[in-house]
Amino acid sequence: MVEFKAIVNDVKTGRSYNVTVAGHHANSLNGKNIGEIVDGIFVGLPGYKLKITGGSDGNGTPMRADLPGTKRRKLLLADSLGFHEKYPGERKRVAIRGSAISSEIVQVNLAITEYGPKSIEESFAPAEAPAESK
C-alpha cells in the first residue's frame, strides 16, 4: 500500500505542516504531476486547494517538473534543481526523478492555493489527551 509524507506549505504565514497520507487518499495522488491542483481532502483539509510543487523518493532524489514520467534518470545538469555548482560553469550527471507521483515517491510537497472555511491550525492541531482522574 502506498504511503506519502505530505509537506503542506501555508504561503500566507510561511509555516509548513507534515502530514502522513495513506490508504485511498494516497492512491488517488498516484499519477498526478507537479503543477497540478488537487483537493485538500487528501491531506485532511476539506475545502482547500493544493498545488503539487515537488517531492522526492526514498533515496532523496528530487522530482523535476520538466522531466516527464515517473522513472529516475541521469541528466547532465548545470546549476539548477538537483545540483548546485561549486565553481562557475561546473556540470555534473545527476540522478533526477520524473514529474509524476508514483509508488516510489516518499515525500510530496504541496502549497496552498485556495483556503477553506476551517483554519489550518484547527485542522492539524494535535488531539489533546483527556485529563487523568486520580
Within a domain: 37: yes
Q: Is residue 16 included in any domain, yes or no?
A: yes
What pLDDT, in 10s, does the model give residues 11-48? Answer: 999 999 999 999 898 898 999 999 999 999 988 899 99
Domain span including residue 71 = 3-124
Residue 130, in any domain of the structure = no
Specify if 42 maps to a domain.
Answer: yes
The total number of structural domains that make up the chain: 1
> Is residue 68 included in any domain, yes or no?
yes
What are phi and psi for residue 65, nearest 5 degrees? -70, -25
User: Whole-model pTM?
Assistant: 0.86
In a domain, 133, yes or no: no
Residues 6+ away with beta carbon under 8 Å from 102 = 30, 31, 70
